[in-house]
């Protein structure tokens, strides 16, 4: 049976998973890229994007786990791109170029229909207009027993958390304070949802916490 998991989700020390003002120049909002400094230089991240080199160690090991045994993704429209409202055309294909790093079906939450988008390397984006539960059900079916990775943005993770749909979450706390943006935990009672901390490990550039039910 597929489990829904959050992997390698970066959070500031003051609880923000993205900065304010997402746009083409700031995919994660203003200063949001600082949250991912621990990830971008790892060997695991480079390998997932077809590059060699990169720092090995604890951060890279956690990053490597985030790519293992994932059979499908679910992400919000904010993660797919900065466009709002009806799709003006089909030209926007995500932030990742012609060969995104997913290599599995990806289900994008949106209010506006769009045909499936087939990319190189095994990634197909499906645009789901009938809600988060429907997207998760389709993703689990597509994953065929492997994990479903719940991607960003923050609103998407919060929605699945609040619904009790996430089985495990790996959070990487970056040594950054943002002071504003999208807060991951506001109004969410993690113990009430059944989560407990099962791992807490200091990496080279982030502190890694795994929560499981």
Does residue 78 belong to any structural domain of this protein? yes
- What's the token pair of residue 51? 């590059």
Q: What is the 3-state secondary structure (H, E, C) of 36-74?
A: HHHHHCEHHHHHHCCCCCCECCHHHHHHHHHHCCEEEEE
Residue 58 lies in a domain: no
Question: Hey, what are 86's tokens?
Answer: 């009806």
Residue 49 lies in a domain: no
Residue 207 sits in a domain whose CATH number is 3.40.430.10
pLDDT of residue 28: 86
Task: Extract the residue ranges of the chain whose pLDDT is less than 50.
Answer: none
What is the domain count for the chain?
A: 1
Q: Supply the pLDDT for residue 146.
A: 97
> 146 phi and psi, to 5 degrees?
-85, 175
In a domain, 108, yes or no: yes
Residue 65 lies in a domain: no
93 domain-assigned = no
Q: How far apart are CA 138 and CA 72, in angstroms?
A: 9
Summarize pLDDT for 24-80 with one digit per residue, the tens. 788 888 999 999 999 998 998 888 877 888 899 999 999 999 989 999 999 999 899
Q: Is residue 144 part of a domain?
A: yes
Residue 11 lies in domain? 4-38+70-84+99-212
Q: Does the reported pTM lie above 0.85?
A: yes
User: Is residue 47, in this structure, part of any structural domain at all?
Assistant: no
- CB 44, CB 34: distance < 8 Å: no
**Confidence (pLDDT) at 24:** 79
């Amino acid at each position: 049976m597929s489990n829904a998991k959050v992997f390698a989700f970066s959070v500031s020390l003051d609880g923000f998973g993205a900065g304010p003002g997402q746009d083409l120049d700031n995919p994660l909002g203003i200063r949001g890229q600082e949250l991912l400094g621990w990830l971008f230089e790892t060997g695991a991240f480079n390998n997932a994007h077809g590059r060699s080199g990169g720092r090995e160690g604890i951060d890279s090991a956690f990053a490597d786990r985030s790519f293992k045994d994932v059979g499908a993704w679910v992400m919000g429209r904010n993660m797919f791109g900065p466009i709002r409202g009806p799709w003006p055309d089909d030209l926007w294909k995500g932030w990742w170029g012609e060969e995104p790093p997913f290599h599995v079906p990806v289900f994008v939450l949106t209010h506006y229909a769009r045909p499936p988008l087939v990319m190189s390397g095994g990634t197909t984006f499906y645009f789901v207009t009938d809600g988060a539960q429907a997207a998760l059900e389709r993703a689990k079916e597509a994953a065929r027993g492997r994990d479903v990775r719940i991607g960003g943005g923050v609103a998407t993770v919060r929605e699945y958390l609040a619904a009790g749909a996430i089985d495990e979450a790996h959070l990487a706390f970056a040594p950054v304070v943002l002071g504003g943006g999208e807060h991951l935990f506001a109004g969410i009672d993690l113990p009430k949802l059944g989560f407990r901390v099962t791992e807490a490990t200091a990496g080279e550039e982030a502190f890694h916490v795994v929560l499981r039910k």
